[in-house]
Amino acid sequence: MSNRFLGKIALFSFLVIGLVAISSPSAFAAGDTKPNTAKTKKADTKSKKTVSSARTSNHMKKDITQAKARLIALRRARGTVEKSELKNNKGREVYEFAIKDGKGHVRDIWVDQKTGRVVRNMAERGK
């Protein structure tokens, strides 16, 4: 056989191997050392349910920090934080943030200390 023919066979075999490797799902997830089989998927699903149910129960939750609340507020209104404080609103502890955008408009964002949910997102009037 000629060298030219062997070169074509080698190129074709690399091409086929590359296509098979790209198109088939890998046996291992990126950075994961466990094989991706049905048994491990079921076990992972069970453990995720346990973790998520522990997160949703109120007695297991901890209050969020002001830094975390600040990030939550800045996701809702882009700008700079002009004022931040912890206050009691109708028996609920909330972090209040006044965020000024690039146009000079100020928004009041209140983040619940227990849940991390935004409970108020309003533009300030007259400012």
Give the span between the Cα atoms of 127 and 66, in whole angstroms: 25
Q: Which residues contact 86 (CB under 8 A, 6 or more apart)?
A: 66, 93, 94, 95, 96, 113
Residue pLDDT, tens place only, 78-126: 999 999 999 998 889 999 999 999 999 999 999 999 999 999 999 987 6
Q: 29-76, pLDDT tens digit by residue?
A: 444 455 555 554 554 445 444 444 444 444 555 789 999 999 999 999
Question: CA 116, 121, 124: angle at the middle one, nearest 5?
Answer: 140
Same domain, 38 and 83: no
Specify whether 36 is located in the same domain as 54: yes
- Give yes or no: residues 31 and 77 share one domain: no
Say yes or no: 51 and 83 in one domain. no
Q: Determine the structural domain holding residue 85 and report its residue range.
A: 66-123
- Report d(CA 84, CA 113) in Å as an integer: 13
Say yes or no: 114 and 91 in one domain: yes
Cα 44 versus chain centre, distance: 19
> 11 and 54 share a domain?
yes
Please count the structural domains in the chain.
Answer: 2
